[in-house]
Amino acid sequence: MAPAEMWGPFSFWRHWSSNPMAHSLLKMDFGKDGAVGDKIMKRVFALVVATLVWAMPAMAQAIPDFDPSYVPSAFRMESYAKCGVRAAADPSWPTSHRRYVDTNGKPADKYTHNLGAEYWERDKRLGSRFTANPNVLITLTCNDTKLRQKFFDGMIQTLYDGARKVRGARWGKLSHFDAPGLGRVSYYIGSRKTDGVTDVAHAYFQHRGRNVSLMIQIGRTSERSGAGRKVRAGKVVELADNNGKVFRFRLTRPAKQLPLGNVGYIRTEAENQAFIKTILQSLRAM
């Protein structure tokens, strides 16, 4: 039964006879010694249980399964680990085949990459250390835990002009929708625990042969001891791949680089949306 049809008028009652367990629960004899009210309450309880038994399989089918052939293995949730996003690369990829990019567009030490932006070169098994189809991961943080779903909806609207607003996103599940000009977009909402708890929204899509992942961290990120290095306002930040510069944007306010994981964040929802929008404009111009 299709998910859209499942909740149609009278469809619930129409399919009672097709579910033996639900049918038997309703006809169960709860005993003759109880009061009439007690019997009614037990039957109501049986009806609730039978409803859950009937509805759960159909609800599960309505959630798309995780598609490993579409989302690069480096971006799978189980790959994320302690110390922010720098441990997000697939552990099967040799360290020598990863390159982290700093604000000058040059390869940087893996502990100094700026604003959480990382670039990984693919494994040599794919034919070349420098591939024509790199995977790009961009991550930023908003430190207001109340934004969550509101911010994610805003991100989708900002990213994809003309795309429908995504509602009913399920925590912990990967879902998909089609965006004009970008094709299929997969998105994920979940939480990842480092030293603090961070709620994470991910969006995956392909752009001209590139697998792109946007990871939006919504919540607090632990700073531990010491002050993180700040990127001054007005600075032009450039991120590059092996073919040259890809992203170029100007910060309108200081962005702090955290010492643990070096995850940078811009402090307001508007700043985050402007950041993402600039990235997408750069992508469209490629």
Would the pLDDT of 43 be above 70? yes
Q: pLDDT digits over 169-220, tens only?
A: 444 445 566 655 556 666 554 443 333 333 444 555 555 555 555 544 433 3
The model's pTM? 0.29
Do 72 and 120 form a contact (C-beta atoms < 8 A)? Answer: no
On average, the pLDDT of the chain sits at 42
How much is the average pLDDT of 37-57? 65
The pLDDT confidence band at residue 47, using thresholds 50, 70 and 90, is confident
* Residue in the block written with tokens 């919540």: 219
Would the pLDDT of 255 be above 50? no
Helix (H, G, I), strand (E, B) or coil at 257: strand
* Residue in the block written with tokens 């600075």: 235
Most confident of 54-58, 150-154, 190-194: 54-58
Would the pLDDT of 49 be above 60? yes
CA terminus-to-terminus distance, the chain: 43
Q: How far apart are alpha carbons 97 and 120 in whole angstroms?
A: 7
> What burial class does residue 49 get, using C-beta atoms within 10 Å of its C-beta: 0-12 exposed, 13-18 middle, 19+ buried?
middle
Q: How far apart are alpha carbons 286 and 280 in whole angstroms?
A: 10
The pLDDT confidence band at residue 44, using thresholds 50, 70 and 90, is confident
Q: How far apart are alpha carbons 252 and 229 in whole angstroms?
A: 17
Query: Which DSSP string corresponds to 85-152?
Result: GGG-S-TTS-GGGEEEE-TBSSEE-TTS-GGG-EEEPPPGGGS-SS-SS-EEEEEEEE--TTTHHHHH
Nearest by Cα to 246 from 60, 54, 76, 117: 117
Q: Please give the single-letter amino acid code of residue 90.
A: D
How much is the average pLDDT of 73-90? 28
Q: pLDDT digits over 89-143, tens only?
A: 333 333 333 333 333 333 333 322 222 233 333 222 322 222 222 333 343 333 3
Do 105 and 87 form a contact (C-beta atoms < 8 A)? Answer: no
